[in-house]
Structure formats: C-alpha cells, structure tokens
C-alpha cells in the first residue's frame, strides 16, 4: 500500500520541479525580450592612446605618393582620400604629412573638383557613372610628376596678395623649395609649397 503512495508523491514532486523550470525559462525569456540594453551596442571605452579612424565604409578610394617637400632628404607623404557615401557627392581630403608623422596640410574639397575640363564639357560624360569614373581617374593623376616643380617660386613671379612679405621672401630665397599644383572647386588652381625657413606650408593661388 505504501509503494503507490510513494510513486504518486514522486511524480508530483517531479511535475512541480518541471513546472518551476518552465516558469523560470518563461520568466528569463520575458526579461530578455523586454530588456532595453542591446549587448551588441555595449559601450567600451577606447584604450589609452588609441586614435579615431575613419570607418572603412566611408573611405571610397585612396591614392598616395612620397615626394620631397619639407625635407630634401626624407620624402613627405601626399595622400588623397575620397570620403562619403557616393563618389559623386563625396569629399576629397588632401593630406600631407612629414616623414615623422606631422600633418603639414589637410584640405577638403568636393569630389567634383577632380573632374577634368574635358569631362565637365563632354556631353558623353553626362551620366553619373561616367562622372564617377572620371573622378577616380582624376585621383590617379592627382599626384602626377608634372604637378611637382622646383623651384616653387620661379624668378620674376609676382607676390600674391594673400602672402605676406616675410613668407614671400623665405620662398624666394629657397631655390630648392618644391611646389605642388592641384585644382580645387570651380576650376581654381593652387600651388602648395613649404617655407623651410619658417617651418610651415604655404598655399599660393594661381
């Protein structure tokens, strides 16, 4: 007579235990579903000394070249980086850094500034795709050897209005100064050079 009672008691305890586990699982799932914290977006502070980097999704294209500029012995780094969601609406970042990593120049211009005059005036280049291809081709030719010249200020060049007398004298006195010509928005051209005596990059309008 005792054996059936013990079996019933055991079955009751087992059923109660399973019900408790089921309730626990349901409760846990409900807590997860109603939680406002997404574990994938948990904030983690950056490590000491860590630098912020441009997301790979925003960098569409990068071209670079090493060329003497601020130092006749150690070439500087000339970088042109296209950043933005699409080529045609992106921004072109011209960055010049020294061999030691110092930023000598960082200028931002619209990607359309990389379109050649031929591409702008050619009716067959009217489509978005054709213009994007022309912009990428412009990036490939941006640092062509023909765009670098020495001296940066040839004899007989008139002093630009935006350059002060001290800076102009430093450039004129340095026949080894290197100039880099490039186009910016609206077809305007500039010449970037470096005044070693003053330790700074100088932009000359063409």
Gyration radius of the chain over CA positions? 32
> For residue range 11-35, what is the model confidence (pLDDT) as tens digits?
444 444 444 443 433 333 333 333 3
Instruction: Reduce the DSSP state of residue 77 to 3 states and report it.
Output: strand
pTM assigned to the model? 0.70
Instruction: Reduce the DSSP state of residue 12 to 3 states and report it.
Output: helix
Query: What's the gap between Cα 41 and its chain centre?
Result: 24
Residue 75 or 17, more confident: 75
d(CA 50, CA 27): 41
Extents of the domains making up the chain: 59-205
> Is the alpha carbon torsion for 169, 174, 177, 183 positive or negative?
positive
Task: Identify the H or E element spanning 30.
Answer: helix 2-34
């Amino acid at each position: 007579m005792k054996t059936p009672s013990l079996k019933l008691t055991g079955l009751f305890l087992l059923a109660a235990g399973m019900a408790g586990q089921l309730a626990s699982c349901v409760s846990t799932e409900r807590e997860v579903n109603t939680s406002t914290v997404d574990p994938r977006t948990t904030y983690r502070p950056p490590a000491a000394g860590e630098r912020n980097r441009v997301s790979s999704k925003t960098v569409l294209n990068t071209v670079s070249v090493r060329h003497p500029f601020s130092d006749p012995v150690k070439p500087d780094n000339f970088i042109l980086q296209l950043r933005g969601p699409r080529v045609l609406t992106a921004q072109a970042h011209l960055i010049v850094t020294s061999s030691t990593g110092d930023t000598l120049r960082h200028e931002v211009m619209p990607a359309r500034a990389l379109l050649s005059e031929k591409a702008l005036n050619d009716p067959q280049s009217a489509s978005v795709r054709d213009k994007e291809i022309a912009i990428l081709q412009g990036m490939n030719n941006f640092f062509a050897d023909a765009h670098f010249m020495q001296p940066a200020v040839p004899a007989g060049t008139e002093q630009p209005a935006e350059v002060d007398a001290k800076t102009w004298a430093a450039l004129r006195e340095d026949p080894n100064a290197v100039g880099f010509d490039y186009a910016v928005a609206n077809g305007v051209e500039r010449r970037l050079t470096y005044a070693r005596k003053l330790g700074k990059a100088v932009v000359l309008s063409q």
